[in-house]
Amino acid sequence: MTAQAKRILGIALVTVAFGVGVGLYVGIYLTAAPGQASARISPSGAHLYLATVPAAALNDPHPTWVSYYAVNPDGSHWRHDTTYVLPAHTLVQVTIYQYDSATGLRNPFLGQGEGLSGGRFTLDGKPTVAINPNLASHVFAIPAFGVSVPLAGVSANAKNTCGNAPCTLSQAHTTTTFSFRTPARGLYRWQCFVPCGAGFIAGWGGPMQTVGYMDGYIKVV
C-alpha cells in the first residue's frame, strides 16, 4: 500500500469513526427518556410510593443534590424516577417517606395542603390540614390538579439521619400520606415549592431547575 493510499484510508477511518460518534451522540440524545414509575394498582385503588432525600445516591451525576425517588411500599428498591404514571379518573393514594431536614417555605401559604381527597393529609399517621411553614422540608405539588402537600422536615436533633439515597425506614424520616383524584389523560408536571437547592442562589438552582430531582411529570394514562 502506497503512502498516499495509507493516508486516504486513515482519513476515511477517522471520518467514519467521527460520523459514528456524532450519530450515536444524537441518537442517544433523541431516544433517551427519563425513567418512569407507575402507581401500583390494587383492589383498593392506585398507590404511589415516593421518598425524598437530602442528597441523591453517591453514584448519581449530582450526588449532592436533594431529590425525589420512587420506592416500594416498604421503603426499599429506590429508583431515581420523577415521571409518575397514574391511571385517569382514579383516586390515587400517595405515600412519601421524607428523610430531609426542614428548610422552610418562602410562601407560608403553601404550608396548607390543598386539592386533597378529604381535605387533609396525614403526617406520621396524624390527620393534618397544615404544617408550620418554617418546618417544611419539601412540597409535592401538581399545580394543574390544584394539588399541593407540604412535607415536614426531620427534626434537627434526630439521630440516625440519612445522607444519601437510598435510605431505610429505620432511619429518621417523616411519613406523609394523601390522596387525590386524577383528571383525564394527559401529561402534567409536578414540583417542589421549597427553595431546597443547596449551594445555589436562594436555593432555586440546581435540583430545583433540573427535571429529575425536585420536579418531574405526571403521566395520566
Contact residues for other proteins, defined by CB under 8 A: 54, 100-104, 106-112, 114, 129-130, 132-133, 137, 141, 143-144, 146, 148, 153, 189, 191, 193, 195-200, 202-204, 208-211, 215
Nearest to 84 by CA among 161, 142, 14: 142
166 or 197: CB nearest other proteins: 197
Q: How far is the CB of 142 from other proteins (least distance, A)?
A: 11
Q: Which is nearer to other proteins, 46 or 206 (CB)?
A: 206
Which of 71, 151 has the CB closer to other proteins?
151
Smallest gap, in angstroms, from Cβ of residue 67 to other proteins? 13
Residue closer to other proteins by CB (options 141, 167) is 141
| Smallest separation, CB 128 to other proteins (Å) | 10
